[in-house]
Amino acid sequence: MNLILLGPPGAGKGTQAKWLEDHYGILQLSTGDMLRSEVASGSELGEQAKEVMEMGGLVSDELILNMIFSRMKHSNYKSGCILDGFPRTTPQAEALDKMLVENDIKIDHVIEMRVDDEAMVERITGRYTCSECGMGYHDSFKKPKVEEVCDNCGGIEFVRRADDNTETVRSRLSNYHEQTEPIISYYGDKGILRSVDGMQAIDEVTKQLKRVIG
């Protein structure tokens, strides 16, 4: 099964993709995660993307397409994959379609996670993760049970994403509306678009996804 998760930053795509990965044994392919590891490793690709990401802009289609297609070529995703954060522009969606046709791969569902912008600013600016295991927390909605100690692994170091500040979030949201939203109708016209209410609690959104996927 191959899925595309669509939704603005903060909609919960990464959280749900991790659940889908564990539950269905399909591979999460997040272009945001790939870019962050390129930046962390100091690679040339990371250097090219870093500034745009910090300003909340979109990295060029060419760079994204080379990166994701090469990852898809070298990954073992026989059971399928979840595309998280890709495609984000019409040229990316069209290039993906072409590549899928050439390789005889089918997308089963494109799932849009619907949320309110204002709630996203609060969600994103309050989120942080354990540096050790990547477990996600939030200043208001999900604090560790013991202050400053990770529930999952006992780690005591936490990190926040460099682009999770109010100004950058607003720019990421406006990019979403201008450049990514048009691909919702692109997939609607193909008849593979489904949607879930991303404003619900994490478990509730997961239940909706299960219903959609069947």
Give the one residue of 7, 8, 12, 85 binding ligand AMP; rule: CB under 6 A. Answer: 85
Q: Assess 32 for contact with ligand AMP (CB under 6 A).
A: yes
Give the one residue of 5, 38, 67, 88 binding ligand AMP; rule: CB under 6 A. Answer: 88
Q: Strand, coil or helix: what is 128?
A: strand
Cα gap 92→32, rounded to integer Å: 15
Ranges of beta strands (E only) in the chain are 3-6, 27-30, 81-84, 109-114, 127-130, 136-138, 158-159, 193-197
Q: Assess 58 for contact with ligand AMP (CB under 6 A).
A: yes
Active site (annotated) includes residue 114: no
Active site (annotated) includes residue 36: no
Active site residue: 142, 161, 170, 194, which one? Answer: 161
Given CA atoms 92, 98, 102, 105 in this order, what sign does their dihedral have? Answer: positive
Tokens of 56: 């909340």
Q: Assess 52 for contact with ligand AMP (CB under 6 A).
A: yes
Cα gap 59→62, rounded to integer Å: 9
Q: Which 162-201 residues touch ligand AMP, going by CB under 6 A? A: 163, 172
Catalytic residues: 13, 88, 127, 161, 172
Q: Which residues bind ligand AMP (CB under 6 A)?
A: 9, 31-32, 35, 52-53, 56-59, 64, 85-86, 88, 92, 163, 172
